[in-house]
Amino acid sequence: MKKTHMETKMIHNEQAGHNETGSLTTPIYQTSTFSFASAQEGARRFAGEEQGYIYSRLGNPTVAQFEERMAALEGGGKGLAFASGMAAVSAVLIALTKAGDHIVCSNGLYGCTYGLLKMMEEKYGITHDFCSMETEEELKQTITNRTACIFVETPINPTMKVIDLEMVSRTASLSRIPVVVDNTFCTPYLQRPLELGCDVVVHSATKYIGGHGDVVAGVVVGSHSFMEKLASSQQKDIGGILSPFDAWLLIRGMKTMHLRMDRHSANASEIAARLIRHPRVKHVYYPGFADDRQTAIVQNQMKTGGGVIAFELNGGREEAEQFINRLNLIKIAVSLGDAETLIQHPATMTHAVVPEEQRNAMGIHESLIRISVGLEAVDDIWYDLYQSLSED
């Protein structure tokens, strides 16, 4: 059978079974509930004896289309959509742990993921340890007999460090520990963790999957058995579900994701190369950029370096804030993956909840700035950065 390319899968859903009308565009089933032909049919559906929709918290045709597309792109058994990226992360970590368990984390996490882990520790005694995951031996030493899962960001937000997912999954499999990967920065177009041996993938679909800054959403992809468990517990009972209209926006965004990711990546690579040559820039962090070890990992598991750059200026917080405030075209905002280029100061914005000592250990210094490079002409993006760097 001929293999369908990733770009085609983003546009076509080969399992488009929810569209009885023949509409080319996925219909929006904007309904909270579904009627039954009889009381017996309702009973059979609630008992799981018959397929069909019941209530949109338990499943909706538009949302199901998005979930099916994401599962196909990531190469997983099933996808589940959530109301935000953090709803997706929370659902997975709650499903995989119980009171007294332990989580191994990459040495750097999104600020709200860090906040969730602290809450789980304070309320339920679920502890966590950070690990650079640079070697198999270091990871083995961090794993304990209470480790319930390994949670990895790669590239790490915001330091852009890349983790070798094949090494992590191989090491975790020795102890039968599931590996969860936040794949938000890459999308399945640039990186597919399940194909590298990992068990669960989460995304903030708000970012590159939606791609236009007009939706907040999350999605999880994994084995069919784990996704069924997640659906029947965390999704159904906690209820952080995605709305049909938001699912429709995501399906629309997915159709151009490969085009956008190619442009984001090309622009980011060029901006990184120009930044490193500027005398006021101390260091540039971009996957595979001027780091032989990281380059080898990037070439093995990523299509390109993606659309996000971090860099440090000569100076501290004041210099960083002054630089940001002098920008004109580039918008000060904490998200990423929009058509517009966005810039933010992680130490006081996305990672402000992380204590200073821990931030510094993660490499999130007060001089660090993160840019989500947009789809504008690269020379226009650079001109705005250059004019701000050039002012005293």
Which residues are known to be catalytic? Answer: 57, 110, 182, 207
Dist CA 241 CA 81 (whole Å): 7
Radius of gyration of the chain measured on its C-alpha atoms: 21
**CA-to-CA distance for 130 and 116, rounded, in angstroms?**
14
DSSP string, 29-42: ---SB---SSHHHH
**Cis status of the peptide bond prior to 346, with omega within 30 of 0:** no
Cβ atoms of 166 and 154 within 8 Å: the answer is no
Distance, CA of 101 to CA of 317 (rounded, Å): 37
The answer to whether the beta carbons of residues 371 and 327 sit under 8 Å apart is: no
Return the DSSP state at 374.
Answer: -
Exposed e or buried b per residue across 232-257, where buried means at least 16 C-beta atoms within 10 angstroms of its C-beta = eebbeeeebbbbbebbbbbbbbbeeb
d(CA 358, CA 367): 15
Q: What is the DSSP letter of 55?
A: B
Cβ-contact 367, 359 below 8 angstroms: no
Is residue 225 within 8 Å of residue 10, measured between CB atoms?
Answer: no
Cα-Cα end-to-end distance for the chain: 62
| DSSP character at residue 70 | H
Q: How far is 372 from 338, CA to CA, in rounded Å?
A: 8
Three-state secondary structure of 123-134? HHCCEEEEECCC
Q: Rounded to an integer, what distance in angstroms lies between the CA atom of residue 122 and that of residue 141?
A: 24
Neighbour-count burial of 84, counting CB atoms closer than 10 A to its CB (0-12 exposed, 13-18 middle, 19+ buried): middle
